[in-house]
A = this chain, B = another copy of it.
Amino acid sequence: MTSAAKLENAESLLDRALEVLTNGSQIDVRNLVRSLYPAEAAHILEALDPERRAKLWSMIPPGVIGQILVEVNVEVGAALLKITDRKDLIAATESMGADGMVDLLHVLPEPLLSQVMESIGVHNRNRIEKALSYGEHTAGGIMSDDVLTIRADVTLDVVSRYLRLRGNIPANTDSLIVVDRKEHFQGVLPLSQLLSHDPHTKVAAVMDTRIAGIPYRLPSREVAGMFERRKLLSAPVLADDGRVVGRITVEDVIGLIRDEADHSLMSMAGLSEEQDMFAPVVSSAKRRALWLGVNLLTAFLAASVIDLFEDAIQQIVALAVLMPIVASMGGIAGSQTLTLVVRGLALRQVSGSNAGRLLWKEISVGLLNGLLWAGVVAVVAGMWFHRPDIGILLGVAMLINLVCAALSGVAIPVLLDKMGIDPALAGGVLLTTVTDVVGFMAFLGLATLFLL
Contact = CB atoms under 8 A, between A and B. Distances in A.
Interface string A172-214: 1110000000001100000110111111000000000000111
A250 interface: yes
Interface in A292-351: 292-293, 295-296, 298-300, 302-304, 306-307, 310, 313-314, 317, 320-325, 327-329, 332-333, 335-336, 338-340, 343-344, 347-351
A59 interface: no
B336 A293 contact: no
A321 B302 CA distance: 9
A218 B9 contact: yes
A124 interface: no
A349 B160 contact: no
Contact of A264 (B169, B265, B314): B265
A353 B19 contact: yes
A351 B265 CA distance: 20
B321 A317 contact: no
A344 B4 contact: no
A11 interface: yes
A242 to B, nearest CB: 4
A233 B254 contact: no
Contact of A195 (B191, B241, B295): B191
A288 interface: yes
Interface in A234-278: 238, 240-242, 250-251, 254-255, 257-258, 261-262, 264-266, 268-271, 275, 277-278
Nearest to A298: B328
Contact of A329 (B257, B282, B295, B335): B295
Contact of A292 (B257, B322, B332): B332
A364 B268 contact: no
Contacts of A218: 7, 9-10
Nearest to A165: B196
A357 B197 CA distance: 59
B238 A275 contact: no
Contact of A296 (B9, B196, B265, B376): B376
Interface string A1-35: 01110110111011100110000000000000000
Most buried by B among A167, A270, A321, A352: A321
A343 to B, nearest CB: 6
A218 B432 CA distance: 42
A88 interface: no
A229 B39 contact: yes
A361 interface: yes
Contact of A372 (B40, B226, B250, B289): B289
A369 interface: yes
A194 B192 CA distance: 11
Contacts of A129: none
A351 B14 contact: yes
Given A233-B250, A270-B336, A288-B333, A373 B293 contact: yes
A89 interface: no
B336 A291 contact: yes
A228 interface: yes
B333 A196 contact: no
A147 interface: no
Interface stretch (A46-54, A99-107, A111-119, A130-138): A46-54
Given A40-B229, A254-B254, A336-B269, A49 B292 contact: no
Contact of A269 (B262, B266, B335, B353): B335
A307 B233 CA distance: 62
Given A169-B195, A258-B261, A317-B310, A2 B354 contact: no
A83 interface: no
A365 B288 contact: yes
A451 interface: no
Nearest to A223: B10
10 contacts: A4-B212, A15-B352, A43-B349, A257-B257, A265-B268, A265-B339, A307-B321, A313-B313, A313-B320, A314-B317
Given A10-B218, A269-B340, 7 more contacts: A4-B212, A4-B213, A37-B229, A43-B348, A233-B251, A271-B339, A281-B361
